[in-house]
Amino acid sequence: MNVAIPTLEDRVSPVFDVARAVVLVELDGDQELRRQTVPLHSQDVARRVAELSQHGVHVLICGAISRPLEATLGAAGIRVIPQTCGPVEDVLRAFVAGQLNDRAFVMPGCCGRRRRGWRGARQRAGCGRQQAKRPADEQTP
């Protein structure tokens, strides 16, 4: 399996859409077989997806990503694990161990949730904000 992680100074790049390179890691189970840094030449959605596909990427672990780019990657058969942050080595180790959902790897401001359905969940949970109380005469029993 080939895993790509966009990088910025040995950390997961905060925004994949403008990342200039990915670390491409070939895994066999939990064993790393090969690693290389691959430059990304285009910010165009179709070309960026083509670049990853040409390298045989199966999984992209990234920070923020635009919805069109995420959808196009998914349509190309590349699994996207968005809203991830941290040092590349730690993120890769957590991915191999199946522990990438640990809060330590979730981007700040994401309330511990990955993108899928995040808006509705955030609004229902209040995302750590104090919910404004309505006056007593407006509250429902």
For residue 121, give both structure tokens.
């969940």
65-103 residue pLDDT tens: 999 999 999 999 999 999 999 999 999 999 999 999 888
Q: Quote the mean pLDDT of the chain.
A: 82
How many helices (H) and strands (E) the chain has is answered by 4, 6
DSSP 26-63: EEETTEEEEEEEEE----SHHHHHHHHHHTT--EEE-S
Helix (H) or strand (E) holding 7: strand 2-8
Q: Which residues pair with 12 in a beta bridge?
A: 7
Specify the pTM.
Answer: 0.78
The domain 2-108 having CATH identifier 3.30.420.130: the answer here is yes
Please tell me the number of Cα atoms within 13 Å of 49 on its side-chain side.
17
Q: Is 90 exceeded by the pLDDT of residue 111?
A: no
Between 36-50, 75-89, 117-131, the lowest mean confidence (pLDDT) is in 117-131
Q: What is the pLDDT of residue 135?
A: 41
